[in-house]
Amino acid sequence: MAMDVKSNQPSPVLTDPAPLTKPRLGLSCNLVPCSTTASYTSGIPSGHYLGISRKKHWQNNIENVYPNGWLDAMKASSPTHRNHATKDESSEQDAAFRLWEVAYPSALGSFKLITNSARGKRILLFLDYDGTLSPIVDNPDFAFILDGMRPVIHEAAKLFATAIISGRRRDQVYKFVGLSELYYAGSHGMDITVPVNDSSNVCCGKVDQASRGGQGNELNFFQPANEFLSMIDEVFNSLVESTKGIDGIKVENNKFCVSVHYRCVKEEKWDAVSQQVQIVLQRYPRLRLTHGRKVMEVRPKIKWDKGKAVEFFIETLGPANCHDVFPIYIGDDRTDEDAFKVLKERHEGIGILVSEVPKETSASYTLKDPSEVKSFLECLIKWRKSENLGI
């Protein structure tokens, strides 16, 4: 019988060992966060379009699913793909998408509005990996970056501080992207590195407080969940053993979290997947479960996620005056909502959801797929270069 995740974890939630209201790793006091109650100045619309409420709950919304059990959450996190829909379903999906896009307009169609708000500010570019820079595939080991995307990101990194924030292991994301000049945050932001040759205020005077990363050209900079490493290894080994009889299952050790992929598991076996994860998780009250696109993820119960990672980067990459930055976060999954919410609450920059189906989101704009992400980045690069030349 499915359990309520929230009620089955009695232990206290660990707090961030270095709250964002205090300096980290010896960072100077001018790098601590600005007040989130600052006046709204970005100029990006945040309310309604043509009378359609942005708070409308669309059919793929998965808010408040936990009381109905983990299996319901798994189904809600895995909407029917448009390619697999019937003709009538496709027609309904198209109509729903057009209505949804009125409330959450295309970032390409709204590009001039976005750049008008970003003009004169330092753009900080944050990118998810799977479903954003690479197509979603059945086997996560083959989620290669979209053709032509790497040189675009390389060019973007010359103009903007650019970070990849992924649920994957940091070293695995680095292997897929292959660009040493980027900032990387793996395990949903719990494993942050900066380039060795970084010349911004992130590394200024702080190199001695970081350790060499796995690629030889990075520095480990912030890892708030180090004490959980052995526990995560135990959970990974337990889940590999307990799920080995389920065809299509893939359990992945992402260093600070364990991902259980059921994309290739028949739906009638999803309940078996859920049960095995529940059984293992019962033994670890300091860990929690989150849901993504056909993936269940076990991670530490600390107040750290992609949103916290974005805050960390903003306060360390941005100028002393936080209002001179314009963060852009592009992602496709439920875990990216934490980052969208941070930008929305700070009234800074924009979140862009990558989706071809309607979803409830805290993002301001949308793109349909990685190819549109590539087009948006190309437009952003061209605009900034022309702005720098005064064209």
Name the nearest CA neighbour of 344 among 313, 294, 310.
Answer: 310
Phi, psi of 184 (to 5 degrees): -125, 140
> For residue 186, is pLDDT > 50?
yes
> For residue 81, is pLDDT > 80?
no
The region of weakest confidence among 111-115, 174-178, 192-196, 353-357 is 192-196
The region of weakest confidence among 48-57, 235-244, 262-271 is 48-57
> For residue 375, is pLDDT > 90?
yes
pLDDT at 220: 57
Question: What percent of the chain clears pLDDT 70, i.e. is strictly above it?
Answer: 69
- Would you list the domain boundaries of the chain? 103-223+304-388, 228-300
Name the nearest CA neighbour of 62 among 274, 380, 385, 361.
Answer: 361
pLDDT at 147: 96
The string of pLDDT tens digits covering residues 282-298 is 999 999 998 888 899 99
pLDDT at 383: 97
Over residues 25-35, the mean pLDDT reads 31
Question: What percent of the chain clears pLDDT 90, i.e. is strictly above it?
Answer: 57
The region of weakest confidence among 308-322, 337-351, 377-391 is 308-322
pLDDT at 96: 83
> For residue 3, is pLDDT > 50?
no
> For residue 162, is pLDDT > 90?
yes
Q: Spelled out in words, what is the top-level CATH class assigned to the domain 228-300?
A: alpha beta
CATH number of 103-223+304-388: 3.40.50.1000
pLDDT at 72: 64
Neighbouring C-alpha atoms within 13 Å toward the C-beta of 268: 0
CA distance 12 to 5: 14
The region of weakest confidence among 63-67, 69-73, 144-148, 352-356 is 63-67
Beta strands in the chain (DSSP E): 122-127, 161-165, 183-186, 191-195, 211-212, 218-222, 250-253, 258-261, 287-292, 295-300, 325-331, 350-354, 365-367
> For residue 168, is pLDDT > 80?
yes
Distance of CA 142 to the CA centre of its chain: 19
Q: 103-223+304-388 and 228-300: same fold?
A: no
Taking each helix axis as running N to C, give the angle between helix 149-159 and helix 370-388, from 0 to 180 degrees, rounded to the nearest 10. Answer: 30
> For residue 385, is pLDDT > 60?
yes
Query: Which residue type occupies 92?
Result: E
Residue with tokens 């314009």: 326
> For residue 37, is pLDDT > 90?
no
Kindly report the average pLDDT of the chain as a whole number.
78
pLDDT at 94: 80
pLDDT at 389: 75
Instruction: Provide the 8-state DSSP code for 58.
Output: -
